[in-house]
Structure 1
Amino acid sequence: MGVATPYDFLRASLQFDTASWSPSIRQDVLLLAGAEDHYVPQGQLAVQIDGLTRTRSLTARLFTAEEQASSHCQLGNIGLALDTMLDWMNRLDASRERLSLALAPQEV
């Protein structure tokens, strides 16, 4: 970004948003958020969900203090975040496999 200080970085990052391109996303999407994230307000999760209007599928997960994963990037329980990502990918793979079998030509 070519800025001199961390404060300048934060100010410069305000120019970026996802609102203009979120409606264009047509992929499967997994959103992860921490209930006590010190960078991203919790309300941003709902804003992002509302903006993703054309996704193939949308899964959102809010991590809590009880899980020790409520901080930014789920620091404190990264393993839980990684398990969540892997489970999501495995469910997508299984779903696609079932769809592939259902659409396969049937032998008579």
Structure 2
Amino acid sequence: MKHTFFIHGVKTPFEYLKKLKNYTTKDISERITQDTLILAGEKDHIILVNMFYKQMKALTNIKSLQGRVFTEKE
């Protein structure tokens, strides 16, 4: 977590969670029209794999979509 805190310029888990609210594609996903590739990690400890599937559904106007969830073994 030290590296994550450093990257985001925070010192506590609470500050980090507050900062995460700034990172969303909610308002722009429908505006994306390019070919799109989304990658995720099955055991990612920062971004849960269910967010991968939510983002895939949110991309309603893209040209083409490919997605891949990497397993823990990979």
Fold similarity call, TM over 0.5? yes
Structure 2 residue ranges without an equivalent (≥5): 1-7
How many residues are treated as equivalent by the alignment?
66
For residues 1-108 of structure 1, what are the structure 2 equivalents within 5 Å? 4-7=10-13, 8-67=15-74
After superposition, give the CA deviation of every residue in 1:57-92 in whole Å (9 maximum; x if it has no partner).
11000000121xxxxxxxxxxxxxxxxxxxxxxxxx
Aligned AA for 1:65? E
Q: Normalised by the size of structure 1, how large is the TM-score?
A: 0.55
- Greater C-alpha Rg: 1
**What is the alpha-carbon distance in structure 1 between the residues aligned to residue 35 and residue 64 of structure 2?**
5
**What is the alpha-carbon distance in structure 1 between the residues aligned to residue 23 and residue 38 of structure 2?**
18
**What is the alpha-carbon distance in structure 1 between the residues aligned to residue 10 and residue 66 of structure 2?**
37
Structure 1 residue ranges without an equivalent (≥5): 68-108
Q: Aligned-residue CA RMSD in angstroms?
A: 1.8
**What is the alpha-carbon distance in structure 1 between the residues aligned to residue 22 and residue 62 of structure 2?**
24
The structure with the largest strand share of the pair is 2
Runs of 4+ aligned structure 1 residues displaced above 6 Å come to: none
Identity, % of aligned positions: 32
Q: Normalised by the size of structure 2, how large is the TM-score?
A: 0.78
